[in-house]
Amino acid sequence: MKDLTQGSITRTILTMAAPVAAGMIFQTLYLLIDLYFVSALGDAAIAGVGAAGTLFFVVMALSQVLGVSSVALISQAVGRKDQDYANLVFNQSMVLAALCAIFTLVGGYTLSDLFMSTIAAGDAQRQGVIFLNWFLPAMGMQFAIMGMGSTLRATGIVKPTMMIQVITIILNIILAPILIAGWGPGPALGVMGAGLATTISSAIGVILLLAYFIKLEKYVSFQPGLWKPRFAIWGRMLNIGLPAGGEMLLMFGYFAIVYWLIQDFGEASQAGFSIGGRIMQSIFMPTMAIAFAVGPIAGQNFGAGHGDRVREVCYKGIMLSAFVMFVVTLVLQFHPETIIASFSEEAEVISVGAGFLQIISWNFVAQGIIFTCSGMFQGLGNTKPAMLSSASRLLIFIPIAVWMSKQDGFTENQIWYVSVLSVTLQAVISFFLVQKEMAIKLKGLQQPEALVTIPT
């Protein structure tokens, strides 16, 4: 366990964010390498895998229920010096992780055909279903990975998770060309290989995290006596986690709607958006690392009664995220087609992907603010405002984008401009809501004199 209630806030954020960012650099490398080998299979494969990948937002929505609630409850317990409660929350989160994994596998294999038929057509639909059949086990394992990783982060420990993440990503990078393209002794499995590589790597990650908790972790641990369902704990976790899960579910809705809006433009258009979207996800990782650090730092200081430090975490986190995203925005204004051309030689794919990156980058600073505010909501233990801000984005984006799609001369770029508008307004709303939440939660905040009793 690491005490995050002392020392420089900026240094603490950077110290926690650095190893997370390092792991995300490898994650970025994997995303780009995976995209490179999938893109060699053609536009249908890119479009199918990209469209199928939107289902990952549903799984992330569910896993956020565990991750966000664990960070909030455990970090606050650490701040109160209440180890027993932290242990209880961790073990209950693992019970919920197992249940969610079962739900994901059953629902995924039952509904994958129906899901793909709504957002893709032709060969892209078929490729997406094949990919999902081998990718679903990896999605099921995300709950255990999220639960254990979030628990460590809540206690101020990030390096073990980062190291394990790096190992699994390196394994995935090795497996991708072997299983997708048939390098060396491996069979050329195409999109099936892309899903299988991720599933194998995720399984290794779960095993390594389990080994770390069993052999090395001392502050929290697996205790079968705490596995009996505690519905009071589940209620608190769902109260905090469901809004955060709803926030991710709304992101799934955004991407699904975009694929639906552009499906009439053909596979090349969907492929361009898929490549641009993967690159965008890679670009977001540094600011996401900052947001991941903000949550537990704010949570521990809130639990310890340090209201002034909680406010400082918010403002310093926003400034750091905005600076990083501003630099990236400037870079993407110059020849983004060069980046897209690394993954496709087709002119239409390059045109769509480059247009997407150049326009969408104007909301990167706003997105950094949104990520940081979400981290603050997690630390304060109330994620409903984050979901409300995400809902505002869709309420702005959907009606305008759908209306524009019915007009003559409609192009993909118009969708990206509407997205910039909606994200910018969401950032304003998120900042207003986090100010309001701090005014409520931090008013007259005092350091706790007694530990909170564990609910039964």
Residues 407-451: tens digit of each pLDDT: 888 888 899 999 999 999 999 999 999 999 999 888 866 554 444
| Whole-number pLDDT of residue 29 | 61
- Distance separating alpha carbons of residues 434 and 389, to the nearest angstrom: 10
More confident residue, 56 or 32: 56
Mean pLDDT, rounded, for 3-21: 79
Classify residue 448: in a domain, yes or no: no
pTM (two decimals): 0.69
Beta strands in 193-278 (DSSP E): none
Question: Which string of DSSP letters, residue by residue, matches 100-162?
Answer: HHHHHHHHHHHHHHHHHHHH--HHHHHHHHHHHHHHHHHHHHHHHHHHHHHHHHHTT--HHHH
| Whole-number pLDDT of residue 455 | 44
Mean pLDDT, rounded, for 94-114: 89
- Tokens standing for residue 25: 């650099």
pLDDT higher than threshold 80 for residue 19: no
Q: Indicate the number of domains in the chain.
A: 1
DSSP state, residue 218? -
Q: Assign residue 122 a region (left: φ > 0; alpha: ψ between -120 and 50; beta: otherwise).
A: left
Q: Assign residue 83 a region (left: φ > 0; alpha: ψ between -120 and 50; beta: otherwise).
A: alpha
pLDDT higher than threshold 90 for residue 32: no
| Whole-number pLDDT of residue 451 | 42
| Whole-number pLDDT of residue 413 | 86
| Whole-number pLDDT of residue 181 | 84
| Whole-number pLDDT of residue 452 | 42
| Whole-number pLDDT of residue 387 | 81
| CA 354 to the chain's CA centroid | 23
Q: What is the mean pLDDT of the chain?
A: 83
- Distance separating alpha carbons of residues 273 and 49, to the nearest angstrom: 12
Distances from the Cα of 219 to the Cα of 82, 151, 410, angstroms: 11, 10, 57
More confident residue, 213 or 37: 213
Nearest one of 194, 196, 204 to 171, comparing CA atoms: 204
Classify residue 451: in a domain, yes or no: no
Q: Is 35 exposed, middle or buried (0-12, 13-18, 19+ CB in 10 A)?
A: buried
Distances from the Cα of 42 to the Cα of 83, 121, 213, 271, angstroms: 53, 15, 42, 9
Classify residue 63: in a domain, yes or no: yes
Classify residue 299: in a domain, yes or no: yes
| Whole-number pLDDT of residue 450 | 41
Element (H, E) at 260: helix 231-262
- Distance separating alpha carbons of residues 4 and 78, to the nearest angstrom: 9
- The one-letter amino acid code at 373 reads C
Classify residue 453: in a domain, yes or no: no
Share of the chain above pLDDT 70, in %: 90
Long-range contacts of 202-206 (CB under 8 A, 24+ apart): 202/137, 202/138, 202/141, 202/142, 202/145, 202/168, 203/137, 203/141, 204/167, 204/168, 204/171, 205/141, 205/145, 205/164, 205/165, 205/167, 205/168, 206/141, 206/144, 206/145
Any idea how long the chain is?
456
Classify residue 373: in a domain, yes or no: yes
Q: What is the number of other CB atoms lying within 10 angstroms of the CB of residue 344?
A: 24
Secondary structure class of 83 (helix, strand, coil) = helix
Nearest one of 213, 174, 203, 191 to 26, comparing CA atoms: 174
| pLDDT tens for each residue of 241-288 | 777 666 666 777 777 788 888 877 877 787 888 888 878 877 887 888
Element (H, E) at 417: helix 412-441
| Whole-number pLDDT of residue 319 | 93
Classify residue 311: in a domain, yes or no: yes
| pLDDT tens for each residue of 365-414 | 999 999 899 889 888 888 788 888 888 888 999 999 999 988 888 888 89
Q: How confident is the model at residue 129 (pLDDT cuts 50, 70, 90)?
A: confident
Evaluate whether 132 touches 52 at the Cβ level (below 8 Å): yes
27-41, 110-124, 155-169, 259-273: the lowest-pLDDT one: 27-41
| Whole-number pLDDT of residue 207 | 95
pLDDT higher than threshold 80 for residue 238: yes
- Tokens standing for residue 277: 């979207």
| Whole-number pLDDT of residue 31 | 57
Full residue range of the structural domain in which residue 278 is found: 9-441
| pLDDT tens for each residue of 320-362 | 999 999 998 998 888 888 888 887 778 888 888 888 899 999 9
| Whole-number pLDDT of residue 454 | 42
- Distance separating alpha carbons of residues 119 and 434, to the nearest angstrom: 35
- Distance separating alpha carbons of residues 41 and 125, to the nearest angstrom: 14
Q: How confident is the model at residue 23 (pLDDT cuts 50, 70, 90)?
A: low
Classify residue 455: in a domain, yes or no: no
